[in-house]
Structure 1
Amino acid sequence: MVMVKSVLFAMPSHSMTCFKLPISLCNQIQSAVTRLWWDSNSGAKKMAWVSWDEMAQTKTNGGLGFREFECFNDAFLAKLSWRLLNNPMGLRARTLLIKYCQHEEFTKVPAVSAISHGWRGILIGRDLLIRNMGWAVGDGKTIKVWQDPWLSTSRQLQHMGPPTKASHDIVVADLFQANTQDWDLNTIERELPELVDTILSIKPSKHGAPDKLFWIHTKDGVYTTKSGYIAAVEIQNEKKARDRRDQVTNW
């Protein structure tokens, strides 16, 4: 197990930090790991008594802690996307954002067909971030009340409901008292009466700092590859469960 984790898992890591590996290649690497684990010697195959899904479970859940290569790849790419998001003035960020994000923000630019393989991988990491980030309220000028998750620091939580035509595009700053970062109770009760207690528990920046995206799976809100891998595995498990339900429905 030590040899598998220190050698076979480490060898493709450099490529995974830059590019999205094909699923077929991830399956070949996984197959090599499985053969090394179960086969006594080359050419003499043995029975795999435990499924890969169980072996890939964490040790606390009864597994061996082996990594799902596709999810690990996505977690690495999300690290790269996190750097672009939080350091837009870096050389790499300026080069890529000028080329691909001239008309839309990085968090909203679509993955069109005419893009490089490297940028497509970055967008895959970006999508993993988007599904697991929330907004920390600063000056409230960036966060859209109805579209963005800003109501919790521990999970993605946004108001679900049909907004009025007049309030569809309001931002959090519109819920402040004039020229301050203090909540306007009358406005909140008028626009979001069912969320008064939740909103009042949020502490905006008193110094007018800009709104900031944070990673919901760490205490400090900073992305880590380990937490990103766990989030990617959860998404993959949800997809597998959904595919199984679809197969049963079609049958």
Structure 2
Amino acid sequence: MQSLWLPQEVCNKINQASRTMLWAKVGSSRCWSLVGWNIVTRPKELGGLGIRESRQVNVSLIGKLIWDLIHSPHKPWVKFLQAKYLHRESVLHAKKSNSSLWYEDWLGLGLICREVPYVHISDTDILVAQCWQQGVWNFDSLYTRLPMELANRIQQVQIPSSSIGANIFSWVGDSSECYTTASSFRFLLPSDHRFTDPIWKRVWKLHILEKVKFLLWQGLHSSLPTNHFRYIRHLDSMEGCPRCSCPQETILHAIRDCPHSKEVWLLVGNIPSQVFSMMDCFTWFKEIIINPAAKKLAIIIWWI
């Protein structure tokens, strides 16, 4: 995984083994995933469990090798590959402030010469530095006409005004501009603003058993296997509560609103009033976790 591009079938088997480990019962290879794999593979602070998807791990580890190939020429394996295959040149070539405007991918969007009908013979030797004048782009001296869309994309690029010497390769996935496998993995994650709530990090900091934390995490995702949850996924023909006559055994009904569950809450005593007032599952579990008595409330939920 660290040095070879794994076949997708191998990645699928690794992912399946991870899902089986997480969801299957002891002694069984069959499992029912209560929370989607795309959520489970997120970091804990983003609503997941920190289990990494195998293809993304494979890409991140290979990326580290490429980074070392560029930035660590002193390493023995880098010296060997450069001498054998690259003739001591870099796998990527960043020249000293003389990148061609047309024939080098300095913009990161492909060669610009392919974006225009033709390059005028008078412009063939034009460098990027010649078009960047006093902090602004100037294409007035070009004989080759740039498409408006391309010109606008270039205008969005800013080049440092100070003399920085040779061009270097930097990593956009981290503020340090240095590549790490962890930052690469986060860079590959799809952005989703639903999982930026600090509650995801807080639930794992509670001083309770890990299995209780896991229960709260499932509750935040509205993914506890109640009869209603099973019914809407066509895993059960009945969605009613087996302990009372309620036609739907939702998560909040099973934990809070069922007469048998409510009796437990009342027997404990000193329960915050908001425990019985909220109707949204995520909001309810969130209030439980941020409550000063979160440890006691979580244990009550576990035993119910």
The alignment's TM-score, normalised by the length of structure 2, stands at 0.47
The one of 119, 133, 136 equivalent to 1:164 is 119
The one of 194, 199, 203 equivalent to 2:160 is 203
Q: Which runs of 5+ in 2 are unaligned?
A: 191-304
* Cα contact 1:183–1:200 (8 A) shared by 2: no
Q: Offset at 1:170?
A: 3.1
* Cα contact 2:82–2:88 (8 A) shared by 1: no
The one of 46, 51, 57 equivalent to 1:66 is 51
Amino acid in structure 1 at the alignment position of 2:37 = W
Q: Offset at 1:63?
A: 3.0
The one of 21, 38, 49 equivalent to 1:53 is 38
Q: Offset at 1:149?
A: 3.6
Q: Offset at 1:81?
A: 0.9
The one of 214, 228, 235 equivalent to 2:170 is 214
Provide, for residues 112-147 of structure 1, a one-character-per-residue CA deviation record: whole Å limited to 9, x for no partner: xxxxxxxxxxxxxxxxxxxxxxx8xx9512x23234
Which of the two has higher C-alpha Rg?
Answer: 2
Task: Label 1:98 to 1:37 Cα distance change in 2 as closer, same or farther (>3 A).
Answer: same
Q: Offset at 1:186?
A: 9.4
Task: Label 1:197 to 1:70 Cα distance change in 2 as closer, same or farther (>3 A).
Answer: closer
Q: CA RMSD in A?
A: 3.8
Aligned residue in 1 for 2:141: 190
Task: Label 1:93 to 1:83 Cα distance change in 2 as closer, same or farther (>3 A).
Answer: same
Task: Label 1:72 to 1:23 Cα distance change in 2 as closer, same or farther (>3 A).
Answer: same
Aligned residue in 1 for 2:72: 87
Q: Offset at 1:19?
A: 3.1
**1:215 aligned counterpart, secondary structure:** coil
Q: Which runs of 5+ in 1 are unaligned?
A: 1-15, 109-134, 151-155, 177-181, 235-251
User: In percent, how many aligned pairs have the same letter?
Assistant: 23
Q: Offset at 1:196?
A: 11
Provide, for residues 50-105 of structure 1, a one-character-per-residue CA deviation record: whole Å limited to 9, x for no partner: 33223223445543332111111110111111011112343211211222224985
Aligned residue in 2 for 1:228: 184
The one of 21, 30, 35 equivalent to 1:36 is 21
Q: Offset at 1:168?
A: 4.4
Q: How many residues align?
A: 179
Amino acid in structure 2 at the alignment position of 1:43 = S
1:148 partnered with 2:105: yes
Task: Label 1:173 to 1:149 Cα distance change in 2 as closer, same or farther (>3 A).
Answer: closer
* Cα contact 2:135–2:161 (8 A) shared by 1: no
Q: Offset at 1:197?
A: 9.5
Task: Label 1:47 to 1:74 Cα distance change in 2 as closer, same or farther (>3 A).
Answer: same
For residues 186 and 225 of structure 1, the distance between their equivalents in structure 2, rounded to whole angstroms, comes to 35
Provide, for residues 152-192 of structure 1, a one-character-per-residue CA deviation record: whole Å limited to 9, x for no partner: xxxx568964162333453324447xxxxx65979643237
Amino acid in structure 2 at the alignment position of 1:50 = V
* Cα contact 1:139–1:205 (8 A) shared by 2: no
For residues 170 and 178 of structure 2, the distance between their equivalents in structure 1, rounded to whole angstroms, comes to 6
* Cα contact 2:42–2:189 (8 A) shared by 1: no
Task: Label 1:30 to 1:216 Cα distance change in 2 as closer, same or farther (>3 A).
Answer: same
